[in-house]
Amino acid sequence: MVVGFAELESAGSRSPAKQAGLQCGDVILAVNDMSVDSNEALVEALGSLKDSKAVITYDRGGTQQTCAVSAVYDGQEQTWRLGAWVRDSMAGIGTITYVDPETGVFGALGHGICDVDTGALMPFENGSLMSSSVVGVKKGQEGTPGELTGSFDMTCDQGVLYQNTNSGIYGCISDPAVYEGCKALPIASKKEIKTGKATIIANVDGDRSETYDIEIIRVYPENDDSMRDMMIQVTDKGLLEKTGGIVQGMSGSPILQNGKLIGAVTHVLINDPTRGYGISIERMLEGAQIQ
């Protein structure tokens, strides 16, 4: 994915890629019909150019297009350059919202994974689920969102990711031990969600999940397309003391009301970290069925 552009002095302080019409968010698929699916593959394709002429095949919003780029030769590195910054992978900490005990299929985050620079929904080729442990918390303050920091266990995959959508990321757990012995809960339709007391299950320390009190202060209309089904406020003193409210990394934390799973935490209000938004479990389950 193109995430930015670099002005090359040898090209007259311009970016050949930008000049050719490439935009941030475009996904490069091939160079002169040589398929590329990683940063390394792109470097290899550029290194194999016979001259400066490069036809770039890319995806923009689901439509495949091409453009001709006049690459610039870097004598020091002995390769051709486009004047574009690209990214082929990312990793982060989030929370699994639910697991179907019969299939191992799970949904997480309650929102899509977007590129940090462009804001574009990241296209998925593949992904892995790994266990993590929260090792630190940056408390949220007015105007500054907090975040969880953690460590990953890179030695063992617990599952695969197969879908990245606006309503969450979806995959299948390959290690049943992740959820074996856990209590199954019924789900609620969006119509059952009411303003008032509720709880969230969140992991903000180590690998332990605990239950915290919240208040649902608003339920949005069913025809709302913003992926915001409810506004919540953290009222639990213990969670407020530890995190200041909702912080990055808590996305996907399950929301329970009247003994049912009703949705997941998705976003925090920047100017009030005690408040944030939630998506209904009904909408997440619908998103999981879109292939």
What pLDDT, on the 0 to 100 scale, is given for residue 291? 45
Give the CA distances from residue 107 to residues 69, 171, 221, in Å, rounded to whole numbers and listed in that order. 40, 7, 23
Three-state secondary structure readout of the chain: CEEEECCEHHHCCECHHHHHCCCCCCEEEEECCEECCCHHHHHHHHHCCCCCEEEEEEEECCEEEEEEEECEEECCCCEEECCEEECCCCCCCCCEEEECCCCCEEEECCCCCECCCCCCECCCCCEEECCEEEEEEECCECCECCEEEEEECCCCCCEEEEEEECCEEEEEECCHHHCCCCCCCCECCHHHCCCEEEEEEEEEEECEEEEEEEEEEEECCCCCCCCCCEEEEECCHHHHHHHCCCCECCCCCEEEECCEEEEEEEEEECCEEEEEEEEEHHHHHHHHCCC
Beta-bridged to residue 85, according to DSSP, are 4
The reply to whether 236 belongs to the active site is: yes
pLDDT digits (tens, 9 = 90+) for 60-70: 888 999 999 99
The reply to whether 89 belongs to the active site is: no
Query: The domain 190-280: what is its CATH number?
Result: 2.40.10.10
What pLDDT, on the 0 to 100 scale, is given for residue 11? 59
Per the CB < 8 A criterion, the answer to whether 14 and 84 are in contact is: no
Q: What are phi and psi of 282, to 5 degrees?
A: -60, -45
Percent of the chain with pLDDT over 90: 47
Per the CB < 8 A criterion, the answer to whether 137 and 124 are in contact is: no
User: Can you tell me the distance from the alpha carbon of 264 to that of 280, in angstroms, rounded to the nearest whole number?
Assistant: 7
pLDDT digits (tens, 9 = 90+) for 39-51: 899 989 998 888 8
User: Can you tell me the distance from the alpha carbon of 72 to that of 82, in angstroms, rounded to the nearest whole number?
Assistant: 7
Catalytic option among 26, 111, 229, 280: 111
Catalytic option among 15, 132, 167, 251: 251
The reply to whether 280 belongs to the active site is: no
Residue position matching structure tokens 């799973």? 261
Domain with CATH 2.30.42.10 in the chain: 2-86
pLDDT digits (tens, 9 = 90+) for 247-265: 988 999 999 999 999 999 9
Q: Which amino acid is at 279?
A: I
Domain 2-86 adopts which CATH fold?
A: Pdz3 Domain (2.30.42)
Catalytic option among 15, 236, 253, 267: 236
Residue position matching structure tokens 């790994």? 130
User: Can you tell me the distance from the alpha carbon of 6 to that of 130, in angstroms, rounded to the nearest whole number?
Assistant: 34
What pLDDT, on the 0 to 100 scale, is given for residue 225? 67
Domain with CATH 2.40.10.10 in the chain: 190-280
Prediction pTM value: 0.79
pLDDT digits (tens, 9 = 90+) for 14-31: 899 999 999 988 999 999
